[in-house]
Structure 1
Amino acid sequence: MLPAAHRLRSRDDFTVALRQGVRAGTRRVVLHWAQTDEAHPTRVGFVVSKAVGNSVVRNRTQRRLRHLAAARLPVLPADGGLLVVRALPAAAGAASADLAGDVDRGLRRLGLTTS
């Protein structure tokens, strides 16, 4: 579970991350990162559109992505930032290992992790 302090909920924060941040895309996800000067810890949000599938598929995909993001919180910068993970239609049928690999690849491309 993603801790409440690390959840991105505000529409304005999503807008900042999507429009002003940098992005890195893979086959299954696109990650958007915006550095902030706020005292908040890094916050993570998810965008899973209807193109991914019906509500059951979208919710399952979002739960899987949330689990992956929660496991990667310790390696993300602690000084504040906004990370939005946008699922592409290929994320719906992907194996968990493939989805995790895409998230890790995106984080490396953004320069957020070295591993």
Structure 2
Amino acid sequence: MLPEAHKLTSSADFRRTMSARTRSGSRTLVVHISARTDIALAGGPRFGLVVSKAVGNAVVRHRVSRRLRHVLLGGVDKLARELDIVVRALPPAAEATSAELKKDFEQAAAASLKKLAKQKSS
């Protein structure tokens, strides 16, 4: 389970992060990243998950969510404190292993971070 300090909780935060235009995808996931300006309130990077009914029934969605939370927990120390990250699971995530989800998250997050850095420098 992710600690409260690492969770996106408001729909406004989800909306802001997903509309930031810094997203990258893989076969199983789409990763949206935005940087907060109020890092004084930050306890670390904050994560949100979107696992829609397109992924599968409730049992499958819950399994995918558990696997993704575990993957995200491992990335807490590797990411900057001011980041908000929304991970949207795609239908192939239902059949993916935890290792595949981890690899896809790391690749998509790296690509999104590169886009974010390019936006900041512009």
Q: TM-score, normalised by structure 2?
A: 0.87
Provide the secondary structure at the position in 2 that maps to 1:9: coil
Q: CA deviation at 1:111?
A: 2.6
Give unmatched runs, 5+ long, in structure 1. none
Q: Distance in 2 between matches of 1:96 and 1:45?
A: 18
Q: Runs (4+) of structure 1 moved beyond 4 Å?
A: none
User: Within 5 Å, which residues of 2 pair with 1:1-115?
Assistant: 1-38=1-38, 39=40, 40=42, 41-78=44-81, 80-111=82-113
Aligned-partner SS, 2:85: strand
Residues 5-40 of structure 1: CA deviation (Å, up to 9, x unaligned): 000110000000011241010000000001111121
**Aligned pair count?**
111
Which 5+ residue runs of structure 2 have no aligned equivalent? 115-122
Question: Percent sequence identity over matched residues?
Answer: 43
Structure holding more helix per residue: 2
Contact 2:33–2:113 under 8 Å retained in 1: no
Which protein is bigger by CA-based radius of gyration? 2
Normalised to the residue count of structure 1, the TM-score between the two structures is 0.92
Over the aligned positions, Cα root-mean-square deviation in angstroms equals: 1.1
SS at match of 2:77: helix
